[in-house]
Structure 1
Amino acid sequence: MKSTTVKAEFSIEGERLDPAIITDLLQINPDETWRKGDSIPGKSMVRRSGNWSIATEFEASFDVNDQLSQIVNIIKPKKERLQNIREAYKLAYGFIIIIKIENNSKPAIHFDTDLINFVAEIKAEIGVDLYIYS
């Protein structure tokens, strides 16, 4: 029987985003990057903005905070740098939670005060994508 899985991602986007510069400034290796104008694999379209992101793997989970905390633990020590480069490069930050629901087993989706404060301090957004399979 399949179980519900959760993945969390932190993404940085911007028109002038150069992934190499973000990697150098944060001293974190990204899981995925692209530049504005790069082609989108499998489509006859190009990227409208640059992207730099880190993510967890999909993991069996009943609380999205298990995956979010992995990401926050990596980037929280870089809070001041994140604040500075967001302004300097006109970037947008987002946390994305992707949930694949199996057997109608839904994880808890709640955000504690520490997470909310951190998200507000770096001026990020939070999104949740749900995929219901069974």
Structure 2
Amino acid sequence: MDKTNVKVEFSIFGDGFDPNIITDTLLITPTRTWLKGDYIRRDLFRKETCWELATEYEESFDINDQIDKLKNLIQNRKDEVVKLVRQNNLECKLEVVINIENNEKPAMYLNKETIKFVHDIGAEIDFDLYIL
């Protein structure tokens, strides 16, 4: 029987930049990167360049478990993230992806620490829910 699982992605993205700048500054190896114009499929191409750090999908009944894992990786580099975003005219986002199995919904709230963290780095939050 499949269980509800959660994945969290932190991405820094923009019109066109070298993702290695992010890697070299933060000293974190991204989960994946892509460049504006990269081929996706058929006549579909990437609309922006992106540097992304993500957790794996994990069985979870509280999204904060995965958010905290990712937050802990970049917490001490918040100032560098803000500087990179400003200097390179970029944006950043925290995306929470939830696959709901058997109508078992995880707790979905943002604690004060997460709200402060997201505010401090100037990020947006996106929730993707998939009912399976």
Quick check: TM above 0.5?
Answer: yes
Please state whether the residue corresponding to 2:73 is helix, strand or coil: helix
| Corresponding residue of 1:47 | 46
Deviation at 1:39, TM superposition (A): 1.1
| Corresponding residue of 2:84 | 85
| Corresponding residue of 2:105 | 106
**Stretches of structure 1 lacking an aligned partner (at least 5 in a row):** none
Task: Output the CA distance in 2 between the equivalents of 1:5 and 1:43.
Answer: 30
TM-score, structure 1 normalization: 0.95
- Residue 44 of structure 2 aligns to which amino acid in structure 1? M
Instruction: Give a deviation string over 1:57-100, Cα, whole Å, max 9, x none.
Output: 11000000000001000011101101111100011100000000
Task: Note the aligned Cα RMSD (angstroms).
Answer: 0.8
Instruction: Give a deviation string over 1:18-65, Cα, whole Å, max 9, x none.
Output: 11111111110001101111111x332221110000111110000000
Please state whether the residue corresponding to 1:67 is helix, strand or coil: helix
The percent identity for this pair of structures is 45
Task: Output the CA distance in 1 between the equivalents of 2:110 and 2:72.
Answer: 15
Task: Output the CA distance in 2 between the equivalents of 1:43 and 1:106.
Answer: 35
Q: Which runs of 4+ in 1 moved over 2 A?
A: none
Q: Do 1:17 and 1:49's aligned partners in 2 also have CA atoms closer than 8 Å?
A: no
Task: Output the CA distance in 2 between the equivalents of 1:18 and 1:38.
Answer: 13
| Corresponding residue of 1:32 | 32
- Residue 128 of structure 2 aligns to which amino acid in structure 1? D
Task: Output the CA distance in 1 between the equivalents of 2:44 and 2:103.
Answer: 36
Deviates more, 1:42-51 or 1:56-65: 42-51
Q: Do 1:97 and 1:128's aligned partners in 2 also have CA atoms closer than 8 Å?
A: yes
| Corresponding residue of 1:117 | 116
| Corresponding residue of 1:96 | 95
